[in-house]
Structure 1
Amino acid sequence: MKRIVLIGLVMVIVCGLLSGCNQQSKETANVKSATPVVLSIYVDQGLVNDDLHEVAKLFEEQEGVSVYFKERPSGDAGEAMVRASLASGDMADLLIYNSGGLFFELDPERYFVDLKNEPYVQDYIEAYTNAVSRNGMTFGYPVSNSTIVGVLYNKELYEQLGLHIPTNWDEFISNCRVIQKAGKVPVVASFKDDWTSQFLFIGSQYAVMKREPAFLKAFLEHRKSFVDSVVYKESFEKQRELYDLKLYNSDYLIMNNTKALELMTSAKGAHYIVNSGFLDVIQKEYSNAKNKVGFFPIPGSTADETGLTIMLPSSFYINKYSEHIELSKKWIALFHAYMKSHHLKQIAPSVLKDEGTFQSTDPVINRYLQDGRYTFGLEFLSEVKGDKLSEISFENSTGIITPEEALRNYNARYQSKLDQFVR
């Protein structure tokens, strides 16, 4: 770009010194026509992975178009920047953003291109289609596989201490006490990254479905709220129980998720309540420990309430006001072809039906999937996602507020967003 600007300035100076300045408009037009087309994609910091880079390289070769990944912060700050970019007309050609409740809050019919007639939409599983569709229009394409909320556990520690995968919460706490007596960290906490504090609450969705089967319908119809669910209340109580029993690492306030994985892979930590994406990271980046860390669902109060909560992936959305809509559609089509041809089975199942059956490479997870003992996270079933869950979970998990306050606070945040975006 600097070179193009410099050439333009030189031409202006030359025309001022020489006769024949009518040539200026022709030369300027040539400079403009030489300006390369750039396809811009707006994405959270740190989420531009190898697949995106590889597809960008292929796209540039096939279309002669540069791909620019414009990064934003993650969390609340990033969400605010996305809404501001849409409102100001400064959105990139493509947006990578959550599916489900957070996406619906963006007013998709106003800002994004309907993809329902694109052939790949027929490949979506129903849950994903619902999470990116409104009023008969479908707006998204999945960036990755799903993830599953659960517990990473160190297999070596379990074997050394004669432990078995817990099927209920009491068994989980019992295992933690044995681990504590052995001088290891029962539950690794990485609250410097406060978003890692919320997974125990998020992963309670399967238990809600089993114990309170009528709750979801009433919740989605706005006849009930979080405070009406015993299971949601218990999930905040379980967060606090881990703190009260001193089951965390002593440096839980300053530990980040990278250090947490080091504890888990070195057998100094026994459990880490996160999502299956962390297990994928271990298998790719900690090759010496990839068979030493396993995964199981967050235990419910009973074995019957123990199952998987699946989180649907973020998606590509095409900006309705982009100058490159057709080019953006070509990007998604190429990404779809690439993911199908390079598909590798991962811990969490794909949301594309033509990628095989709904299964996992992990035997424990796969057993739950095959038995149908799973549901999808609430934010993918609801039109609104409550905010500040990370902050509220952090405060509850570190003794700042009580579980009762946490439940009331989160319920209030959800109701506030519901009033803002729905009513």
Structure 2
Amino acid sequence: MRRKGLCIVMAFVMASLVAAAGCGSKAQDNTTGGKDNVEPAAETSGSVQPDAGEEDTDSGKSEGADLTMLINADNALGGIQAVCDLAEKKMGIHVEIETRVGGSDGDNIVKTRLASGEMADICVYNSGATFAALNPEEYFIDLTDEAWMGNLDDNYLQSVTVKDKVYGIPSASMNCGVILYNKDIYDKYKLSVPKTWDEFMANCETIKKGGETALIGSLATPWTGQVIQLGDFYNVNAQDPAFAQEFQKGSAKYADTPAALRSFEKLEETIPYYNEDFLATTYDDACDKLANAEGAHWPILSYAIQNIYELYGEEAANKIGAFAVPGDSADNNGITVWIPESFYGNKNSENIEAIKQFFEFYITPEALDAYCSALLPDGPFCEKGYELPDNVYDMVKQEQSYIEAGKWGTAMEFQTSVKGADLPAICQELISGQTTAKKAAQKYDDDCLKAAVQMGLDWK
């Protein structure tokens, strides 16, 4: 089977070429950024050609402006490009894209250009803790009082808010920490989508008794082993809403907080259900296994659907469903999301009004339709009330149901700046049976202590 090679590993191997391209350029779509401190998403076209805005209309066109945008070269540009094209047609606002490398080198470029006063009109950067560290009050346009910001979900707004001021709009759709499942296997065993962890374990047991693989492990791509632990944070927050804040201060830890420890306990409970070769299975291998019904479930970020689409097409992609990492109560069944990268306006730009006009347009249903016509989203949008197109992946519709019900929250790393670097290895040890949930939680607390000390936080 030919591989598309869409797996991006934790080594942060990024593109080294920095190229300038106009918004109408044909830059290759690769990965979606914005997973603050989480493995970047491999996002390909998985789409049709843009057809939104074909009718040439001058309604609502402004006097026009030329804007510049600095963006990670690994981002998927198809959807953004389509909205830029439509904005130029309708409002006369042209956006010229300049790409930068990703990873720590890209972070340094952003920081250097901000400090030197050479930032583009629009900066595309992470949402959450790493954005807050950029000192946004000094560099970015305050959007707090713009009426159209009310079109964005409050959970998203929190991720781009610093000292009660809001600075960004989302550049793409969200990603969700989910358990993908093969619908054919669920139909075969007459299983229902679980709303509790016990129901999920019961489904896994049924599949195992049928002689099939209940859970696909892909630990040859180490970051994938974290997804259950990280994706459980909606449930942690539901039980202990103060945990992230207390963890940031160092007064709460995973090992001694029952709701947080439960995330590691859940991971430990999955041990009997993995494929025998889970340590040798890669991200791409797991896509194959799930699409070919060689395993029933795969805990992963939702952008994996793009890889399955590229490998097997629309029919196969729509045989994959998704549900949130279940909690222990069906009454509050919700999903953990990773906020996309955001657009931030340069406070020192000569085109502040045009930037605001572009931002206002970008989050309208018309603009989102243009985005989706060029690039099918692999997760829900942060814009309130937006109706996904009919041809969106079935699993994204399932994810959207959590959003519409208000049953979603951001991942832990959007609520605290402290995240240890060794979580993938710790989770791998746990899944492999080399440690226990309690010891794994303690190891992660120790790992986070190192990170907190490096950040200058007063942790104990």
Question: Quick one: structure 1 residues 67 and 248, their matched pair in 2 at CA, closer, same or farther if it must change by over 3 Å?
Answer: farther
- Alignment partner, residue 412 of structure 1: 449
| 2:355 is aligned with 1:355 | no
Alpha-carbon distance in 2 for matches of 1:73, 1:309: 24
What is the number of equivalent residue pairs in this alignment? 381
Q: Match for 1:176: what amino acid? A: C
Q: Which has the higher helix share?
A: 1
Say if 1:194 and 1:390, in contact at 8 Å, map to a contact too. no
Question: Quick one: structure 1 residues 374 and 115, their matched pair in 2 at CA, closer, same or farther if it must change by over 3 Å?
Answer: closer
| 2:228 is aligned with 1:200 | yes
- Alignment partner, residue 374 of structure 1: 408
Question: Quick one: structure 1 residues 397 and 419, their matched pair in 2 at CA, closer, same or farther if it must change by over 3 Å?
Answer: same
| 2:157 is aligned with 1:129 | yes
- Alignment partner, residue 388 of structure 1: 421
- Alignment partner, residue 40 of structure 1: 69
Spell out the pairing of 1:93-172 with structure 2 (5 A cutoff).
93-172=121-200
Structure 1, residues 53-110: CA drift from partner, whole Å, max 9, x if none? 2234445666585622414235x66545544554565644432222222221222112
Alpha-carbon distance in 1 for matches of 2:102, 2:371: 29
| 2:289 is aligned with 1:263 | yes
- Alignment partner, residue 311 of structure 1: 338
Say if 1:236 and 1:393, in contact at 8 Å, map to a contact too. no
- Alignment partner, residue 6 of structure 1: none
- The residue matched to 2:124 in structure 1 has which SS? strand
| 2:118 is aligned with 1:68 | no
Say if 1:240 and 1:398, in contact at 8 Å, map to a contact too. yes
Alpha-carbon distance in 2 for matches of 1:140, 1:342: 20
Deviates more, 1:115-124 or 1:155-164: 115-124
Alpha-carbon distance in 1 for matches of 2:207, 2:108: 42
Query: How high is the TM-score relative to the length of structure 1?
Result: 0.73
- The residue matched to 1:353 in structure 2 has which SS? coil
Question: Quick one: structure 1 residues 171 and 117, their matched pair in 2 at CA, closer, same or farther if it must change by over 3 Å?
Answer: closer
Alpha-carbon distance in 1 for matches of 2:368, 2:407: 27
Say if 1:155 and 1:293, in contact at 8 Å, map to a contact too. yes
Q: Match for 1:205: what amino acid? A: F
Alpha-carbon distance in 2 for matches of 1:410, 1:304: 34
Question: Quick one: structure 1 residues 331 and 69, their matched pair in 2 at CA, closer, same or farther if it must change by over 3 Å?
Answer: farther
Say if 1:392 and 1:406, in contact at 8 Å, map to a contact too. no
Alpha-carbon distance in 1 for matches of 2:406, 2:361: 33
Say if 1:204 and 1:309, in contact at 8 Å, map to a contact too. yes
Q: Match for 1:415: what amino acid? A: A
Question: Quick one: structure 1 residues 333 and 270, their matched pair in 2 at CA, closer, same or farther if it must change by over 3 Å?
Answer: same
Deviates more, 1:150-159 or 1:83-92: 83-92
How far 1:272 moved relative to its partner? 1.3
Q: Match for 1:43: what amino acid? A: N
Alpha-carbon distance in 2 for matches of 1:259, 1:328: 43
Deviates more, 1:127-136 or 1:246-255: 246-255
Say if 2:231 and 2:411, in contact at 8 Å, map to a contact too. yes
Question: Quick one: structure 1 residues 316 and 373, their matched pair in 2 at CA, closer, same or farther if it must change by over 3 Å?
Answer: closer
| 2:216 is aligned with 1:188 | yes
Question: Quick one: structure 1 residues 78 and 398, their matched pair in 2 at CA, closer, same or farther if it must change by over 3 Å?
Answer: farther
Say if 1:240 and 1:396, in contact at 8 Å, map to a contact too. no
Of 308, 322, 326, which aligns to 1:295?
322
| 2:306 is aligned with 1:276 | no
Say if 1:40 and 1:67, in contact at 8 Å, map to a contact too. yes
Say if 1:43 and 1:95, in contact at 8 Å, map to a contact too. no
Alpha-carbon distance in 2 for matches of 1:85, 1:352: 30
Query: How high is the TM-score relative to the length of structure 2?
Result: 0.68
- The residue matched to 1:198 in structure 2 has which SS? helix
- Alignment partner, residue 38 of structure 2: none
Q: Match for 1:388: what amino acid? A: A
Alpha-carbon distance in 1 for matches of 2:117, 2:346: 10
Structure 1, residues 139-190: CA drift from partner, whole Å, max 9, x if none? 1011123333221000111222343333333443343344345454332233
How far 1:376 moved relative to its partner? 3.1
Say if 2:253 and 2:445, in contact at 8 Å, map to a contact too. no
Alpha-carbon distance in 1 for matches of 2:70, 2:332: 40
How far 1:408 moved relative to its partner? 2.0
**Unaligned 5+ runs, structure 2:** 1-18, 20-65
| 2:262 is aligned with 1:234 | yes
**Unaligned 5+ runs, structure 1:** 2-36
How far 1:316 moved relative to its partner? 0.7
Say if 2:67 and 2:355, in contact at 8 Å, map to a contact too. no
